[in-house]
Chains A and B, each alone.
Chain A
Amino acid sequence: MRTCRSFCLLMLLSLLLLPGCWNSRELSDMAIVIGIGIDKIPDTDQYRVSLQIVNPGSVVTSKSGSGGQNLMPNVVYSSVDHTVFSAMRKSSQKVPRRLFFAHSQLLVIGEALAKDGIDDLFDFYERSHELRLNTSVVIAKGTDAESLLRVLIPLQTTTTTAITGRIKVTSESWAQSVDTTISDIVKSLVGEGAPVISGIRVTGNPSKGQKKENLEQSTPLSNVETKGIAVFTDGKLAGWLEGKSARGAVWALDKMKSTIVNIDCEDKKDAMAIEITFSTTKVKAHLINGKPSFTIQVTEEGNLSETKCPINPKTHEVIAKLQQQLAEETKKEIELAVKAAQLTRSDIFGFATVIKRTYPKDWKKMKENWPALYSESEVKVSVKAYVRRTGLRFKSYIKPKEE
């Protein structure tokens, strides 16, 4: 009995050995894909998928490492096929190692593909267990995804980390771009709204940017920078919001974390900088005579950070005036964004969802010609602005001119 039991146990234990090292992968056999670019081949329904593979040896500078800095930080391989996944697999013809996608942090969509439509692009991302839904998405503005990924960027190890870094930092501190992930896009494609995706463009000479010499300049020959927010209608790129209208869109989307707003001061234009430290946005819908109208309510707080004119914000009146100016400026920017979005008939602010929630019955009637209703609907913007602090001092050292 005892021998039988131990024999059975032994047999069961040896079952463990049968799968071998199931699904085990050695790090040195893997090509870590850090960024993916997808382009459209013109006049076909084929994708060109570009995989940016990081070269770990160049990333880590250890004294025992072989050469460290002399290696290219990343390599880009491209393949063309009808589906995204087959194009990715096709790359294995060119890549000496097993592709590993779990660490891809960025999806770049070429502008041509964006104009053609991105509705059907993300199914693979949702299905795959390796790809992540929190991957950031950007649109390659004015270029294709492949050439964007090929640019070598100083300071950051790979183009991908450079881009994701820019997106994160700028969307939080300058707020003229948005950090959109794949799950955000899928959500808005499934729901009533439309996605917004930041644009990234290549500056300088893109062909020189692919070479190592780009890393050896204090002013890079070629660089990438965030530029504008892409607006989609029916899954197709419909236009770009840039500058103040982009910031207005961020405000209306309730994604404002921090930015700097310049306001006028007596006779000087844009002479005072106010740093927004807190902002919250609410959208309310009303039906007047069957026509939808919306109110965007923004409550924001800011600090006076810089001034070029001699004000003394010690008194309540001065602060109140600052607040009023700030509110007006904010309102102006949001209205710009709303107008631009209405023009493209792209419901980036999710107004449809608000209507659906407030008037579920009426929504069914409106659903048919929503784009038209949306573009004609009246949007009111009301802003409550507070200036809380004035930095380390009240009165500026700048003296009034009369004295």
Chain B
Amino acid sequence: MFKHPDRFANKHVRNREDDSKPGRQSNGKMPLFSRLTENLAYIKNELGDSPDIIVRKFEIGTSQTAAGAVYMDGITDKNMVNQYILQSLMLDADSRHLDQDQSVLSYINDNALSVGEVFILKDWDSVILAVLSGDTVIFIEDTDEAISGNTKGGEQRTISEPSTQVVIRGPKDGFTESIGTNVSLIRRRIKSPNVRLEPFKIGTETKTAVAIMYLQGKVENSLVQELRNRLQHIRIESLTGSEHLEELIQDQKMTPFPTLTNTERPDAVTNHILDGRIVIFVDGTPFNLIAPITFFKNFQSVEDYYMRPEAAAAIQFLRYASLLISLFGPSIYIAAITFHQEMIPTPLLLSLAAQRESVPFPAFIEALMMEFTFEILREAGIRMPRAIGQAVSIVGALVLGQAAVEAGIISSAMVIVVAITGISSFANPTYSMALSIRLIRFLMMVAAALLGFYGIAILSIILIAHMCGLTSLGVPYMTHIAPFVPEDQRKTLYGLPLTKKAEIPQTFAIPSENETNGETDSSPPASSASHTEGRPS
């Protein structure tokens, strides 16, 4: 079991405490009572007298000072509570020290509590947050301050192999739902003092821990500042996953394309950080966000880093080809077969015509039916219990594929087209990108059915124009193509990762609007000085 103390929560509390020190009362924050029973009764009441709130009254050491420990069952490490909080306070605390000038609180803080992270809390908000985050809070008789000790723990999923992004050759660990575990996985990989981690709390109800991590000197400061601003300006009740956060911080909302990518692989995140990107960890999900990304980054897999560059480049090419097939496959077939029969070689046309002799539907309806069926099959396959999976594939393959062809409802060429399209869309390493391509494919089919290749061309032009207008954290989505940066295409487009592995893409050095492209190459302005130093060679 991995129990990583959630530093983000406490740090946050401390910050807030420091901030609120001068005018606590005026801030509307409710101070603690001085009487122990009042405090304990209040917190019980505030949390709805929930049975998983454990309140333990005791006396400190041999003295007569009464104290109470409050913690939440299930999210605390019971051993820690028993051994390091209760035992040290009840048994090990030496009453002789209490006679001195020192207050009970500072004695506990300085001498008695053998826990790594200890904070002094002064208002109820921070107390309740601490309890709900898995800390143990200790109230002391006649003291209007409380002490929290970090006892976070409880059951967590262990680190296991990522199930959605599988590689053949590469590390087998994947992120878990715990943000602490996730951060530690990256810390283990990059032992650089330049790694920066900044915590955030998002959601008024969920208070989800969010953290951004980047490599100081590799990433342009304005990018980090921009991301900070966006995160700080989120005003929502709950944040349940990185998908939700992605929606909240993306640059453009009206787009089918993901402008942030996500991964559950620590090695992928490591590469992103080293390449000068920012990672956004969200507590409660193994999928962490990466920004800024370009369109082409969606077609790279970490696997590319573990292959020979030649093979990686070839496979990269394959992925682009599969992108084109999954986007245009059915629409090109529809267009060719209903508008541009003269483009099909005669023997092929005759073969297609023979297959379509008995098919009662227009090609578009036929394609729509098959694509629709395929999407249903795919969706069913994902949501179903694993045990029924085989039944679905049998029904899908035999009944829908073969039987439909033999019954003369669907032509076999259409089955081939739909099948290759479906397989191609699985070849995309980024699931969210594959999802958008799936949607656009249907639009393409409609365009092809209405206007043939002309329609496909129109829609493609609209799509490309739209993509050129997209940005990811202010960096153009089509970077390296538009704006055109040929030096960086080597890595981004042709996927030659090893040769230029540690180098930051040029475009990331010029993200702000007031800088012109030419300036950065010849004489870097002051703002990107740190970045230039951090660059290898």
A residues with a Cβ closer than 8 A to B are: 16-17, 19-28, 30, 32, 34, 54, 56-57, 59-60, 62, 64-66, 100, 102-103, 105, 130, 157
Report how far A102 CA is from B340 CA in the complex, Å: 10
Asked whether B368 is an interface residue with its Cβ less than 8 Å from the other chain, the reply is no
- Kindly name the residue among B342, B351, B405 whose own CB sees the greatest number of chain A CB atoms within 10 A: B342
A102-B342 in contact given A27-B356, A30-B353, A60-B351 (Cβ < 8 Å)? yes
Considering the complex, give the chain A residue whose CB is closest to the CB of B352.
A27
Asked whether B355 is an interface residue with its Cβ less than 8 Å from the other chain, the reply is yes
Q: What are 30 inter-chain pairs, A to B, with CB distance below 8 A?
A: A16-B450, A21-B338, A21-B450, A22-B451, A23-B452, A24-B339, A25-B341, A26-B338, A26-B363, A27-B338, A27-B341, A27-B349, A27-B353, A27-B356, A27-B363, A28-B357, A28-B359, A30-B341, A32-B350, A32-B353, A54-B350, A56-B353, A57-B357, A59-B350, A59-B354, A62-B355, A64-B408, A66-B357, A100-B341, A130-B342
Asked whether B406 is an interface residue with its Cβ less than 8 Å from the other chain, the reply is yes
Chain A residues positioned under 8 Å from B359 (CB to CB): 28
Considering the complex, give the chain B residue whose CB is closest to the CB of A65.
B354
**Which of B338, B346, B357, B455 interacts with A103 by CB under 8 Å?**
B346
Asked whether B362 is an interface residue with its Cβ less than 8 Å from the other chain, the reply is yes
A21-B341 in contact given A60-B351, A103-B346 (Cβ < 8 Å)? no
CB distance from B345 to the nearest CB of A (A): 9
Chain B residues positioned under 8 Å from A24 (CB to CB): 338-339, 449, 452
Chain A residues positioned under 8 Å from B352 (CB to CB): 27
A17-B350 in contact given A26-B362, A56-B357 (Cβ < 8 Å)? no
Chain B residues positioned under 8 Å from A32 (CB to CB): 349-350, 353
Q: Which range contains the number of B residues in contact with the other chain?
A: 20 to 34
CB distance from B247 to the nearest CB of A (A): 21
A34 B355 Cβ-Cβ under 8 A: no
**Which of A57, A62, A103 interacts with B349 by CB under 8 Å?**
A103
Considering the complex, give the chain A residue whose CB is closest to the CB of B455.
A16
Considering the complex, give the chain B residue whose CB is closest to the CB of A58.
B354
- Kindly name the residue among B338, B353, B356 whose own CB sees the greatest number of chain A CB atoms within 10 A: B353
A62-B338 in contact given A17-B450, A103-B346 (Cβ < 8 Å)? no
Report how far A11 CA is from B322 CA in the complex, Å: 34
A103 B363 Cβ-Cβ under 8 A: no
CB distance from B361 to the nearest CB of A (A): 9
A103-B341 in contact given A16-B450, A27-B363, A64-B406 (Cβ < 8 Å)? yes
Chain A residues positioned under 8 Å from B341 (CB to CB): 25, 27, 30, 100, 102-103
> Which 9 A-B residue pairs are closest in the complex by CB-CB distance?
A102-B342, A56-B353, A60-B354, A56-B354, A24-B338, A27-B356, A59-B350, A27-B353, A103-B346
B residues with a Cβ closer than 8 A to A are: 337-339, 341-342, 346-347, 349-359, 362-364, 405-406, 408, 412, 449-452, 455
Report how far A59 CA is from B337 CA in the complex, Å: 18
Report how far A146 CA is from B406 CA in the complex, Å: 38
Report how far A28 CA is from B413 CA in the complex, Å: 14
CB distance from A59 to the nearest CB of B (A): 5
CB distance from A7 to the nearest CB of B (A): 16
Chain B residues positioned under 8 Å from A105 (CB to CB): 346
Chain B residues positioned under 8 Å from A34 (CB to CB): 346
Chain A residues positioned under 8 Å from B354 (CB to CB): 56-57, 59-60, 62, 65
A56-B338 in contact given A16-B450, A24-B452, A64-B406 (Cβ < 8 Å)? no
Considering the complex, give the chain A residue whose CB is closest to the CB of B451.
A22
Chain A residues positioned under 8 Å from B357 (CB to CB): 28, 56-57, 65-66
A19 B363 Cβ-Cβ under 8 A: no
- Kindly name the residue among A27, A30, A62 whose own CB sees the greatest number of chain B CB atoms within 10 A: A27
Chain A residues positioned under 8 Å from B337 (CB to CB): 27
A64 B405 Cβ-Cβ under 8 A: yes
CB distance from B336 to the nearest CB of A (A): 10
**Which of B353, B408, B449 interacts with A21 by CB under 8 Å?**
B449
B351 A28 Cβ-Cβ under 8 A: no
B353 A28 Cβ-Cβ under 8 A: yes
Considering the complex, give the chain B residue whose CB is closest to the CB of A20.
B450
Report how far A22 CA is from B412 CA in the complex, Å: 26
Report how far A56 CA is from B355 CA in the complex, Å: 8
Chain B residues positioned under 8 Å from A20 (CB to CB): 450
B449 A60 Cβ-Cβ under 8 A: no
**Which of B338, B408, B455 interacts with A25 by CB under 8 Å?**
B338
Chain B residues positioned under 8 Å from A16 (CB to CB): 450-451, 455
CB distance from B252 to the nearest CB of A (A): 16
Report how far A45 CA is from B234 CA in the complex, Å: 85
Chain B residues positioned under 8 Å from A22 (CB to CB): 450-451
Chain B residues positioned under 8 Å from A56 (CB to CB): 350-351, 353-354, 357
Chain B residues positioned under 8 Å from A59 (CB to CB): 347, 350-351, 354
CB distance from A36 to the nearest CB of B (A): 14
Report how far A157 CA is from B355 CA in the complex, Å: 16
Chain A residues positioned under 8 Å from B362 (CB to CB): 26
**Which of A25, A54, A60 interacts with B355 by CB under 8 Å?**
A60
CB distance from B465 to the nearest CB of A (A): 14
List 17 additional contacts besides A26-B363, A59-B350; criterion CB under 8 Å.
A21-B338, A23-B339, A26-B338, A27-B349, A28-B359, A30-B341, A34-B346, A56-B350, A56-B354, A60-B350, A60-B351, A62-B354, A62-B355, A66-B357, A66-B358, A105-B346, A130-B342
Considering the complex, give the chain B residue whose CB is closest to the CB of A64.
B406
CB distance from B139 to the nearest CB of A (A): 55
Chain B residues positioned under 8 Å from A102 (CB to CB): 341-342
CB distance from A366 to the nearest CB of B (A): 44
- Kindly name the residue among B355, B405, B455 whose own CB sees the greatest number of chain A CB atoms within 10 A: B355
A28-B356 in contact given A22-B451, A23-B339 (Cβ < 8 Å)? yes
B450 A19 Cβ-Cβ under 8 A: yes
CB distance from A104 to the nearest CB of B (A): 9
- Kindly name the residue among B351, B412, B449, B450 whose own CB sees the greatest number of chain A CB atoms within 10 A: B450
Report how far A130 CA is from B343 CA in the complex, Å: 11
Chain B residues positioned under 8 Å from A64 (CB to CB): 405-406, 408, 412
Chain B residues positioned under 8 Å from A65 (CB to CB): 354, 357
CB distance from A205 to the nearest CB of B (A): 28
Report how far A64 CA is from B450 CA in the complex, Å: 31
CB distance from B409 to the nearest CB of A (A): 11
